[in-house]
Amino acid sequence: MKIIDKYILKSFVRLYIIILLSFIAIFLIIEFFEKFGRFISENPRTLDVILYFICRIPYIIVLSSPVAVILSGLFLMQYLGKHNETIAIRSAGISIIRMSLPLFWCGLFLSIIIFILGDTLLPYSEDKRVYIQNVKIYNHPKRTIRMRSNIQYKDDEGRLYYIGFLDGYRNKIKNIDISELNENNEMVRKINSEYALWQSNIDNSSKDLIFYNGYIREFSDGKLTDFEQFHKKMIPYIKIQPIDLVKSVKDPLEMNFFELKEYVARLQRIGEKHQKELVEINLKIAFPFVNLIILLFCIPISTLSVRGKSRGLGFVIGVAICFLYLSSVRLGQSLGYNEIISPFLAAWFANIGFGVIGIVGLLRTGR
C-alpha cells in the first residue's frame, strides 16, 4: 500500500469513527428524552434502562453508517482541497479515481462489517431490547402467539392439514383434518380426529403426536377401501411438531438471515402470506452495500466545493442524496410488501438506481 493510500484511509476512518460516535450520542439523547417520561412512570431498575439504551446502539450504527460514510468522504475531500493536497496528488500523475480507491475498499469492508453486525449482534440486541422494554420495564407478559385457529399447513411429504385450533401452552390441537394425495392429486387417505396431544417420546429428542376420537379412511380410484375408527392412536408418519404451527412473533429485525429463511419456509408450509419476510431476507444482504455505493457520490459532490462559498452547498447536497437514497430503500421495501415488484428487486431497487448514477457521475468527474 502506497503512503498516499495509507494517509487517505487513515484520515477517512478517523472521520468516520468521530461522526458515527456523534450520531450514536445524538440518537441516544433524543430517544432518552422521548422515553424518559414513560419509563420513569413504571419505576424501572436503573440497570434495565441502561441495558435498554445499550441494546439500541447496533441499530443506530446500521442505520446511520451510510450518512457517516458520505459525510466522512466529503469532509476528507474538503480537507484535501483546502490544503491543495488534491492538486499535488494530481500533479504526481495520480487520477482522482485512483486517489479514491482506498475509500472504495474501505466502503466494501464497511459493507461486510455492517452485514455481519446486522445478522448477528443486531437481531440479538433488538430481541433483548424489546424483552427489556416489555417485560422488565412495562411488566407485560413475554410475547408469544401459541393459541391460533384455522391453521392450514403442508408438510414436506405433501400432506395437507387443516387444524381448527392450536393450544401451544398445552401442546394440544383440535378438529384435525389431514389429507394425503397421490401424484395425480387423488385422495388416498383421510385422517380426522377430535383432538391430539404432543407427548415426549422415550429419548426426548422430539414429541409424538397422539390422536384421540377419530377415524382413518383409505381410498383407491376415488372409492372408499378401508375404514378404521380409533379412540387413541399414534400415527408414526405424522411427525409435525408444535414449532411448525406456532407463528413467530419476532419482528424480522430481531431474526438473523437463517432464522428468517426458516421462518419463511414455515409460513409457506402453513399457507400464510410471506411476501414481507421475503423482502426482508433480500434487504439483509442489499442494505449494507449502501455504505459502498454512497461513496460514489463523494467525488462529484466535492467538485462543487472548489470555490469556498460552495462548501456548505456540497454538504447539503451530500446529506440530501443520502436521505433520498434511504427513502428509496424504504420505497422499494413498500413496493415489495404490496407485491408490486419482486422481493429481490424491492431490496436492490435503490442500490441499482443510485449505483448507476454514482458510477456515471464518478467517471465524468474523473476525466
367 or 67: which carries more pLDDT confidence?
A: 67
What percentage of the chain carries pLDDT values higher than 90? 36
The residues of the chain that CATH labels 2.60.450 are: 147-245
Q: How far apart are CA 16 and CA 18, in angstroms?
A: 6
For residue range 328-355, list pLDDT tens digits in order.
999 999 999 998 999 999 999 999 999 9
- Calculate mean pLDDT across residues 180-207: 82
Query: With b meaning 16 or more CB within 10 Å and e meaning fewer, what string describes 255-292?
Result: bbbeebeebbebbebbeeebbbbbbbbbbbebbbbbbb
110 or 268: which carries more pLDDT confidence?
A: 110
* Residue for grid cell 452495500: 289
Query: With b meaning 16 or more CB within 10 Å and e meaning fewer, what string describes 49-66?
Result: bebbbebbbbbbbbbbbb
Inform me whether the pLDDT recorded for 110 exceeds 70.
Answer: yes
For residue range 155-172, list pLDDT tens digits in order.
878 788 889 888 877 888
Window from 229-238, 273-282, 296-305 with minimum mean pLDDT: 296-305
C-alpha cell at 332: 422499494
Model pLDDT, residue 149: 78
> Residue 350 CA to chain centroid, in angstroms?
16
C-alpha cell at 283: 434487504
> Mean pLDDT, the chain, as a whole number?
84
For residue range 111-126, list pLDDT tens digits in order.
999 999 988 999 999 8
Max alpha carbon distance in the chain (Å)?
A: 92
131 band by pLDDT with thresholds 50, 70 and 90: confident
Inform me whether the pLDDT recorded for 308 exceeds 80.
Answer: no
Cite the beta strand spans of the chain per DSSP E.
147-154, 160-167, 172-181, 187-200, 207-220, 223-234
147-245 classified as CATH 2.60.450: yes
What percentage of the chain carries pLDDT values higher than 70? 86
Q: Whole-model pTM above 0.75?
A: no
C-alpha cell at 360: 456515471
Q: How far apart are CA 260 and CA 250, in angstroms?
A: 10
367 band by pLDDT with thresholds 50, 70 and 90: low
Model pLDDT, residue 363: 79
For residue range 258-287, list pLDDT tens digits in order.
888 888 877 776 666 788 889 999 999 999
